[in-house]
Each structure stands twice: as C-alpha cells, then as structure tokens.
Structure 1
Amino acid sequence: MVDRRDIGSWLEGPGSRSGASSAYPGERLGMPRDGAGSMGRFGRRLVGVVLDWSACQLIAFAFFGVPLPFAGVATGRDTAVLLAIFALENLLLVGTLGSTLGHRVVGLRVQATDGRLPRPFQSLVRTVLLCLFLPAMFWDKDGRGLHDKAAGTVIVRT
C-alpha cells in the first residue's frame, strides 16, 4: 500500500521521499542558520506585508478616495485599485531594489535562489501569485511560499 510519506508533497521539493530533514529552514538551499542571508521567518514576513498593505491603503485613500478600513464600505473598484497599487509596489520595488517598503523596515530582501536580484520575469511571477493570496498561504519546510518557489526566489534577512 502506498503511504502519503512515500509520495511526499510537491511543496517539500527534492529529498521529500528520502525523508531527509534539515536542521533549520534554508539548510537545503545552502543558507546560514542565523544572521544576514538566512531565511526570513514568518513573523518578519507577516509584519512586512502588513506594513506594505497599510502603505498601499494610505496611497489609495490619498489619491483615489478609497475608504480606509472601518471608515467606509469599499466597493469592488476600491479593492481593485488597492490590489493594483500593492502589485505595482511589489513589481517595481522587488524588481529594482530587491525589497518592498515593508521588507526594508523589518530587515528582509527578496533574491533569486542564485543570490542575485530577481529578474523581471521572476518579479512578475512572484507578484501575480502573491496578489492571488492563496499561493502565499502554502509554504514548504524552508518557509518558502508557493509564490516564491514558482518564481525561483527566496526571502532572506539583511
């Protein structure tokens, strides 16, 4: 009989069938355990995205009249404007600087798995999947979300 452990998960990547576990997130990717260059952990990433989303809400309020949370009822158009601003922020800043405003504040950056800045196509794939939200909710043993795995990127500490 085939067991789930025999199949592994597509999120677990290479080594999932062998049962080889890593001592810390990022070890399989050749990253250090702690300090600069180590995997960005969930707490920092969550604070970073909350800061980014808040900044985008303020921009949408100031320039497009989108109501702030709990200050009015947002329409479908308002949500689309807010998501477009969030996507533009991620696409431009990750593609050019390697980090969004929120990433910069919490000491994170996005890089390709080879250590360089994400290429434009990687930034585009990552942004589109991030805006779909659901891919960001699933991650592997290293803490990489589906949006980062598909784009070939990783979030590391600075």
Structure 2
Amino acid sequence: MARWTGEWLPGAGDGPATADQQAPRWRGERLGLPESGVGSVAGGGSRLLALIVDLVLASLVTAIFVRYDLQDAAVMQTFNLWAGVVWAAISTVSAAFFGFTPAMGMFGIRVARLDGASMVGPWRAAVRMVLTVVLIPAAVRNVDGRSWLDRLTGTVVVRMR
C-alpha cells in the first residue's frame, strides 16, 4: 500500500523499484530533460534566490510610489501590502508572457510547460503566484525537482544557460 506522501519524499511509495521501474538517475530524467546544461531542471537554490530578488525588486518599485517609514507600523503595513501587489503583478505578467520573472532571467532559469507550448499563459502564472504566496507547495519538491505548483500547472523550472 502506498504511503500518503506518495512520491514526494525519498523512499515513499510501494517499496523498492522493480526491474522495469527504475529510480531516475537525475532530476527530470522521467520528463525527458537533460541531466545538466540548458533545459535541465533548475536547482532549488537558484529558485529561492530568484524569489528573494523579485521580492526586493518589488519593494524598490513600491518605494518609488508609496511612502515608507520603518518607525511607523501602520505605514509599513500599507507599504508591504502594496509591495506584495507589485510582486504579484511582476511575477504573474512576466512569467505568463516571457516564461521568467526579472530575477529568474538574471539567474538563468525559466518556467517551461511540459506540453511544449511556448508561453506559460496567464492562468498557470496566476496559480503559480498564488501557491508561491502559500509557500509550502513551492517548497516541497519531488524526485524530478518539481514542486506542487509545478505539478498542478504542468510546468517545470529549467535552466536557460
């Protein structure tokens, strides 16, 4: 009987792999992706760094339009709300139409659809953004290096260079 964790934790599942069901040798092998280089599954570190840089970028853009004061909690609450809205807009629009956010482009990673379509599309980008806000679905990854939000939207984050 399979465990409730399914394939999300190492060693989860029905038991050891049989001869016709071998464990993948690298992340993305089951998806037909290369082991390294362009098109291979991006690591979690570059994904996390890209998220942090995108959040900082959103804060900087927000600071142009919204007053901030580190000593005033009410002002900072409003600033943070607007920074979150700016981050959501930057993340959704850029991922939907270009396949990467500004920071993802800087770190050489992008979101790719598994069906081979060139654009991620607005609904997939919006679902990815909402699930990233929740954080847990973005942090839990399977043996292919795909998070819950990748699996739900039929995408994978790959290297561009």
Fold conserved between structures, TM > 0.5: yes
How far residue 72 of structure 1 moved from its aligned partner, in angstroms, is 4.3
Q: What residue identity is the alignment partner of 2:109?
A: L
- Identity %, equivalent residues: 27
- When normalised by structure 1's length, the TM-score is 0.83
Residues matched between the structures, number: 150
SS in 2 for 1:154: strand
C-alpha distance in 1, partners of 2:65/2:150? Answer: 31
In structure 2, the gaps of 5 or more residues are none
Q: What residue identity is the alignment partner of 2:110?
A: R
The one-character-per-residue Cα deviations of 1:52-95 (angstroms, maximum 9, x if unpaired) are 1110111121211245xxx4455433332121111111110000
Which protein shows a greater Rg? 2
Q: What residue identity is the alignment partner of 2:137?
A: P
Q: What residue identity is the alignment partner of 1:114?
A: D
SS in 2 for 1:156: strand
C-alpha distance in 2, partners of 1:24/1:73? Answer: 49
CA RMSD of aligned residues (A): 2.3
- When normalised by structure 2's length, the TM-score is 0.82
C-alpha distance in 1, partners of 2:127/2:13? Answer: 25
Which residue number corresponds to residue 9 of structure 1? 5
The one-character-per-residue Cα deviations of 1:97-141 (angstroms, maximum 9, x if unpaired) are 110000000001111112322122111111111122222121111
Q: What residue identity is the alignment partner of 2:152?
A: A
Report which stretch shifted further, 88-97 or 113-122: 113-122
In structure 1, the gaps of 5 or more residues are none
Matched, 1:153 2:155: yes
SS in 2 for 1:49: helix
Which residue number corresponds to residue 88 of structure 1? 89
